[in-house]
Structure 1
Amino acid sequence: MSPSEPDIYAEHVLDHYEDPYNRGPLDTATHTDEGKNPLCGDVVHIDLKMDDDGKIIEAWFDGDGCVISQASASMLMEKIDGKTMEEIQAFTADEMLELFGHPLTPNRQKCCLLSWRILQGALKSPVAAGDDDVESNGARRKFGGPTLGEET
């Protein structure tokens, strides 16, 4: 007996949730942004390291929230790895929902699209060399507080 299509998607989603792609901080980020879904409290933080040509060298996320928001963030980090800024800007919300691969209600679509929205913000949010949270070598300083997952 083969699994049904929704079962395959559910397994794929759970795989990303339980073993996420590039989850954690990126100390050498050149671009970063964070946001939340005010309806449910899901939080996603995205760190990007881009080369001088605008290509993603590394893409990492962290956050706290439901399976959909966190799994979709993992899927998105995997999808954008090695892409250019132009390719990422051209990646639409509909394509993000398609990447997730499972039909969602409008409220749950907001969970899925949270990381996509934060990614678009990160592209426009370079880490300035003079920022207080940046070391002289360009690495981001840790603020020393709890991680997003530890806050409740």
Structure 2
Amino acid sequence: MSDLEDLYQEIILDHNRRPRNFGPLPEATHHAEGHNPLCGDHIKVLLRLEDDVVREVKFEGEGCAISKASASLMTTHLKGKKLGAVREAFRAINHLLTSQEDEIPELETLGDVAALQGVRRYPVRVKCASLAWHAADAALDGVVETTTE
């Protein structure tokens, strides 16, 4: 394993063991629940938007290490971003997780979220990694429940 792969694995393990922004958000303006029946993941994403900026984002629920780490990484990445940048992040993570290309131009914009790029080698785990992102996207669209099916 390369040094970069080691670093990415450590980031994922750290966010799984000590998830950031985990817990309730009573003042949420948007929320949605995501389900991944294949793995049993259930993640609720809560966002507080103010002037089209994500002021606060948290998640609740249970899931595998990948889904929990991805949700944690997502919350740290989206906090403070304008809605347009959030939508761009959704497109970037989808490309990161599903592209078969060697070069992923979005890597530079994703920061620690880029640690999830190795998941694309395991297609069954892509749904785990994308669940929280789909839930956040659904929440912003006013949809309160989504699934990876």
**Does the TM-score normalized on the shorter chain lie above 0.5?**
yes
Deviation at 1:15, TM superposition (A): 0.8
1:31 aligns with 2:30: yes
CA contact (8 A) 2:44 2:60 kept: yes
Percent identity of equivalent pairs: 37
Aligned AA (1:72): S
Distance 2:49 2:88 in 1: 17
- Report matched runs for 1:73-152 at 5 Å: 73-91=71-89, 92=91, 93-95=94-96, 99-101=113-115, 102-104=117-119, 105-125=122-142
Q: Which protein has the bigger strand share?
A: 2
Distance 1:108 1:30 in 2: 30
Task: Tell me the TM-score normalised to structure 1 length.
Answer: 0.75
Provide Cα deviations, 1:53-79, integer angstroms capped at 9, x if missing partner.
Answer: 211110001110100000000000000
Cα pair distance change 1:30/1:89, threshold 3 Å: same
Cα pair distance change 1:30/1:124, threshold 3 Å: same
Structure ranking higher on relative contact order (CA contacts 8 Å, 6+ apart): 2
Distance 1:85 1:126 in 2: 16
- Report matched runs for 1:59-74 at 5 Å: 59-74=57-72
Structure 2 unaligned spans of 5+: 99-106, 108-112, 145-149
CA contact (8 A) 1:30 1:126 kept: no
Structure 1 unaligned spans of 5+: 128-152
- Report matched runs for 1:10-21 at 5 Å: 10-21=9-20
DSSP 3-state at the match of 1:23: coil
Residue in 2 aligned with 1:57?
Answer: 55
Cα pair distance change 1:95/1:85, threshold 3 Å: farther
CA contact (8 A) 1:56 1:83 kept: yes
Residue in 2 aligned with 1:133?
Answer: none
CA contact (8 A) 2:57 2:75 kept: yes
CA contact (8 A) 2:54 2:81 kept: yes
